[in-house]
């Protein structure tokens, strides 16, 4: 059973979508509207107690963009906890520094493409899941 998210948490995710950083805007401009391999990405997607920067449900792939706060001890501990949580849910994570995106967007996108080609899409999204009849 799916538990509804706290309305305040959803409002926070909506604010993050509205108030994107420059690096988020840049990456979003390349992967919105299925521009990257026809993949559907969502921005600031809530998953459990976390909000994922970019998420492709079909491949269970999360892209996280890391600013300076991610390189502090507290930031690294938070990232490790988030990664462990997502791993238990079968979600793959790609992390890029903001600088990577600004200075090497093509390389970032190539890494995303390489990762996607190594993954199998979710069965439910490919129409392969069937209900068994008793």
pTM for the complete prediction?
0.82
Give the separation between CA 113 and CA 123, rounded to whole angstroms.
19
pLDDT digits (tens, 9 = 90+) for 9-65: 788 788 888 889 999 999 999 999 999 999 999 999 999 999 999 999 999 999 999
- Which pLDDT value is given to residue 2? 67
Q: Mind listing the domains of the chain with CATH numbers?
A: 21-117 (3.40.960.10)
- How far apart (Å, rounded) are the C-alpha atoms in residues 41 and 21? 17
Q: How far apart are CA 71 and CA 54, in angstroms?
A: 20
Query: 58-74: buried (b, 16+ CB within 10 Å) or exposed (e) per residue?
Result: bbbbbbbbbeeebeeee
């Amino acid at each position: 059973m799916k538990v509804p998210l706290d309305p305040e948490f959803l409002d926070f995710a909506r604010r993050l979508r509205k108030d994107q950083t420059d690096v988020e805007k840049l990456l979003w401009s390349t992967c919105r509207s299925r521009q990257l391999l026809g993949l559907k990405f969502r921005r600031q997607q809530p998953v459990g107690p976390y909000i994922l920067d970019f998420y492709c449900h079909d491949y269970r792939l999360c892209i996280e963009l890391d600013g300076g706060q991610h390189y502090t001890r507290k930031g690294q501990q938070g990232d490790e906890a988030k990664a462990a949580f997502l791993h238990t849910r079968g979600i793959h994570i790609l992390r890029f520094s903001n600088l990577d995106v600004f200075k090497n967007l093509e390389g970032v996108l190539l890494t995303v493409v390489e990762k996607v080609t190594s993954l199998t899409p979710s069965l439910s999204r490919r129409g392969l899941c069937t209900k068994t009849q008793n």
